[in-house]
């Protein structure tokens, strides 16, 4: 280790200015660390020393507190306060900074050195689908679902070995479950082919699970569905996937939602549209009508003079937002129903109405009927 007197300035080590931004310090460290990385310079003591020096400089300069102490008092300021960590072991560096680069394999992450994953492996994720009615989706509900998933074998409690026998340590990887292969300057860590990562080899296999330590079982779960979900959304139920191995966590269960179309409400995001037929006289005179809503039904006032296709918006009566935002609207679209059959009385009254209407055609209609007349008369009359 260099003595204090011979220690280089941290900024100089990373090749950055005294006022360099955090991002530039990180970039500079990455560049330096890659250049003198031991995997690229096997057996080169000087490179290894530089690699440690860079890690130390980065540790100080990437920490605002340590950096300000260093700026004011130099190396002496950090010495003896436990403020600076001299990296004696490369493994420390890999562990501390490997993740920052997002290439764990090059920096030896993934289990062997850093011990992050151990030899365990997270259980596989499972996927299932449920179908809800629109009303269930609107209110939220609890659903019982049944899935088949791999669980720890009860017979051998997951060891895979026959009762009374114990698995042997894998001779290929020495029980680590991982083997390291060098490819150029990359060091690639892979799951041991001898034991498939478990670190153990089973001679007397459990009859129930044939040594896998797992068995597929039907499981019933109850899943809470938040209000407002829509087709295509996925719920993640943590830890309800397949069992992890070697103490690693279970996988997750993803529940894909399907919402059945509703005969009365069409959904568009959080808004619902409902088509409500009314008669010509209701449209013209106004009416109180009964309409369906998510809670059942309610009365709605149709104002006089309502036009076919007009939309009456009922604020915040649509679907709730599953993320907790506001509610959508219920849009009531008015359909003016033309009767296919009339009672004699209806017909009499309508004919009377027609007579008045045709005698008092409004200007707008006149234009339309004029156009129509021209249309029927044909071009030769013009």
CB closer to Zn ion, 170 vs 235:
170
CA pair distance 168, 307, nearest whole angstrom: 82
* CA end-to-end distance (rounded Å), the chain: 107
Burial class (CB in 10 A: 0-12, 13-18, 19+), 254: middle
Q: Which residues bind Zn ion (CB under 5 A)?
A: 153, 155-156, 170, 172-173, 192, 194-195, 206, 208-209
Minimal distance in Å, beta carbon 210 to Zn ion?
A: 8
Minimal distance in Å, beta carbon 248 to Zn ion?
A: 16
CB closer to Zn ion, 74 vs 194:
194
CA pair distance 347, 344, nearest whole angstrom: 5
Minimal distance in Å, beta carbon 192 to Zn ion?
A: 3
Give 107's DSSP letter.
T
CB closer to Zn ion, 196 vs 271:
196
Give 337's DSSP letter.
E
* Residues making up the chain, counted from first to last: 382
Minimal distance in Å, beta carbon 115 to Zn ion?
A: 17
> Residue 329, SS3?
coil
CB closer to Zn ion, 157 vs 298:
157
CB closer to Zn ion, 201 vs 332:
201
Minimal distance in Å, beta carbon 206 to Zn ion?
A: 3
Q: How many beta carbons lie within 10 A of that of residue 232, not counting itself?
A: 9
Nearest by Cα to 32 from 51, 12, 45, 46? 51
CB closer to Zn ion, 179 vs 289:
179
CB closer to Zn ion, 172 vs 280:
172
Per the structure block, which two tokens stand in for 312? Answer: 């009456």
Nearest by Cα to 106 from 53, 178, 39? 39
Minimal distance in Å, beta carbon 200 to Zn ion?
A: 8
Nearest by Cα to 135 from 276, 328, 265? 265
| Cα separation values, 169 from 15, 138, 338, Å | 48, 55, 83
Minimal distance in Å, beta carbon 165 to Zn ion?
A: 12
Nearest by Cα to 253 from 263, 243, 265? 243
CB closer to Zn ion, 135 vs 248:
248
Strands 200-201 and 168-169: antiparallel
Minimal distance in Å, beta carbon 170 to Zn ion?
A: 3
């Amino acid at each position: 280790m260099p003595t204090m007197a011979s220690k280089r300035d941290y900024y100089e080590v990373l090749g950055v200015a005294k006022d360099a931004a955090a991002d530039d310090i990180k970039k500079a460290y990455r560049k330096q660390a890659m250049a003198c990385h031991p995997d690229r310079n096997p057996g080169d003591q000087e490179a290894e020393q530089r690699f440690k020096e860079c890690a130390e400089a980065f540790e100080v300069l990437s920490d605002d507190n340590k950096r300000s102490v260093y700026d004011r008092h130099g190396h002496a300021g950090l010495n003896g306060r436990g403020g600076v960590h001299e990296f004696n072991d490369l493994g420390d560096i890999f562990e501390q900074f490997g993740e920052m680069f997002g290439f764990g394999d090059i920096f030896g992450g993934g289990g062997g050195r850093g011990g992050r994953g151990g030899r365990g492996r997270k259980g596989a994720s499972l996927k299932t689908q449920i179908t809800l009615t629109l009303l269930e989706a609107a209110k939220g509900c609890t659903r019982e679902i049944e899935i088949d998933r791999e669980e720890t074998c009860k017979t051998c409690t997951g060891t895979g070995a026959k009762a009374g026998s114990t698995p042997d340590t894998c001779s290929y990887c020495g029980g680590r479950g991982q083997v390291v292969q060098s490819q150029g300057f990359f060091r690639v860590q892979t799951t041991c082919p001898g034991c498939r990562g478990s670190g153990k080899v089973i001679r007397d296999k459990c009859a129930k699970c044939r040594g896998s330590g797992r068995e597929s079982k039907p499981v019933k779960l109850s899943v809470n569905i938040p209000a407002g979900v829509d087709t295509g959304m996925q719920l993640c139920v943590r830890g309800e996937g397949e069992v992890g191995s070697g103490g690693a966590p279970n996988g997750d269960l993803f529940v894909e939602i399907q919402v059945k179309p509703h005969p009365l409400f069409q959904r568009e995001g959080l808004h619902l549209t409902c088509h409500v037929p009314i008669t010509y006289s209701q449209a013209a005179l106004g009416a109180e009508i009964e309409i369906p809503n998510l809670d059942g039904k309610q009365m709605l006032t149709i104002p006089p003079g309502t036009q076919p296709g007009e939309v009456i918006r009922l604020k915040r009566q649509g679907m709730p937002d599953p993320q907790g935002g506001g509610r959508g609207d219920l849009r009531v679209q008015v359909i003016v129903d033309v009767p296919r059959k009339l009672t004699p009385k209806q017909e009499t009254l309508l004919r009377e109405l027609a007579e008045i209407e045709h005698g008092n055609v409004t200007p707008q209609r006149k234009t339309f009927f004029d156009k129509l007349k021209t249309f029927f008369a044909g071009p030769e009359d013009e």
